[in-house]
Amino acid sequence: MKSRPYRGILSDLDGTINRGNVLIPGAMAVFDDLSKKGIKWVFHSNNAGCAAADLALRLNRMGLAVNENQVVNSASALIAALSREPAGARVMVVGQEKLVQKLEASGVNVVNDSRNVDILVTAIDSGFNYHKLKEAQAALHNGARFWATNLDASYPGEGAFLPGAGSIVAAISTAAGRGPERVLGKPSPDMAHIALELLGLPAESCIVVGDRMESDILFARNSGIAAALVLTGASSRNDLPGFSYAPDYVFSGISEIATLFD
């Protein structure tokens, strides 16, 4: 395969680089080798259960020497979007406590009174329960706007797929009778804008690598970036005919992207 003039990689995490706290075989070697060649990496994730800096630390613990400016997640996109809202906008959060803390640290006015909410934000939440569902429903019935960090129904763990933020969004949507009007994570291009700024590169010089057609590959298409699907996560080769769009490349795993840079 002939090399292409790519200078930056926007790589997904779960299912592409790692499964849970374990790196996918070949991930460390290809990251190290391409980094030595001057190829820039930014890792992207729909996971809003923690800050991008936490994901960078997690990658370091797995052996990838990355810094927090090499990771962007849907929480990053959420914070950027909320920063453009009127000062003092009241935000109710269905999400992990770390996300709440990150939002408050960035100056977001997080509230718990479902009668006075401007925006309801939904994300992965391991403590999601009937009470939270009821309060979210009430906030939406009282006129709050509905934002979601992502619509992924599941995500790959170390041994099985686990319920994702999209499952929580679906429950709230069913209860409230309407879905979110804004989604900050993939496949929306919000994270790509941040990633390209971090890379300091134009879209045409980069490639998105991911394992899920309906999030990663569509994310690339919506962002005007080339796309490579790896078959180590959610989507298989047999899934491809069911989509109206396609990746530019299909690889068995992350290590094979090295062929694009020979």
DSSP lists the bridge partners of residue 1 as: none
What angle separates helix 130-141 from helix 165-176, to the nearest 10 degrees?
50
CB 107 within 8 A of CB 87: no
Which DSSP state fits 124? -
Domain ranges for the chain, please list them: 8-46+186-260, 87-183
> Which three-class secondary structure string do you get for 180-191?
CCEECCCCCCHH
**Which of 71, 175, 191, 164 lies closest to 120, judged by CA?**
175
pLDDT of residue 220: 98
Centre a 10 Å sphere on the Cβ of residue 244 and count the other Cβ atoms it contains.
Answer: 6
Report, as ranges of residue numbers, the positions in the chain whose pLDDT lies below 70.
1-4, 156-158
Is there a common fold for 8-46+186-260 and 87-183? yes
Examine the residue annotation and report whether 14 is marked as an active-site residue of this protein: yes
pLDDT, position 5: 83
Give DSSP secondary structure letters for 150-208: ---SEEE-SSSEEE-HHHHHHHHHHHHT---SEE-STTSTHHHHHHHHHHT--GGGEEE
In the residue annotation, 152 being an active-site residue is answered as: no
Annotated active-site residue in 12, 152, 190, 211:
12
- From the list 14, 152, 190, 216, the catalytic residue is 14
Instruction: Evaluate the CA torsion angle 129, 136, 131, 48 in order and state its sign.
Output: positive
8-46+186-260, CATH topology level? Rossmann fold (3.40.50)
> Average pLDDT over the chain, rounded to whole?
94
In the prediction, which pLDDT does 151 show? 92
Helix (H) / strand (E) containing 78: helix 74-82
Q: Which of 192, 260, 184, 259 is nearest to 221 (CA)?
A: 192
Given this model, what pLDDT does residue 2 score?
A: 45
Helix axes 190-199, 74-82, angle to 10 degrees: 100
- Closest by alpha carbon to 239, among 262, 208, 216? 216
The CA-CA-CA angle for residues 51, 128, 15, to 5°, reads: 50
Residue 82 main-chain phi, psi, to 5 deg: -65, -30
Does the domain at 87-183 match CATH 3.40.50.80? Answer given as: no
Q: What is the pLDDT of residues 184-232, one digit of tens each?
A: 999 999 999 999 999 999 999 999 999 999 999 999 999 999 999 999 9
Residue 20 confidence (pLDDT): 84
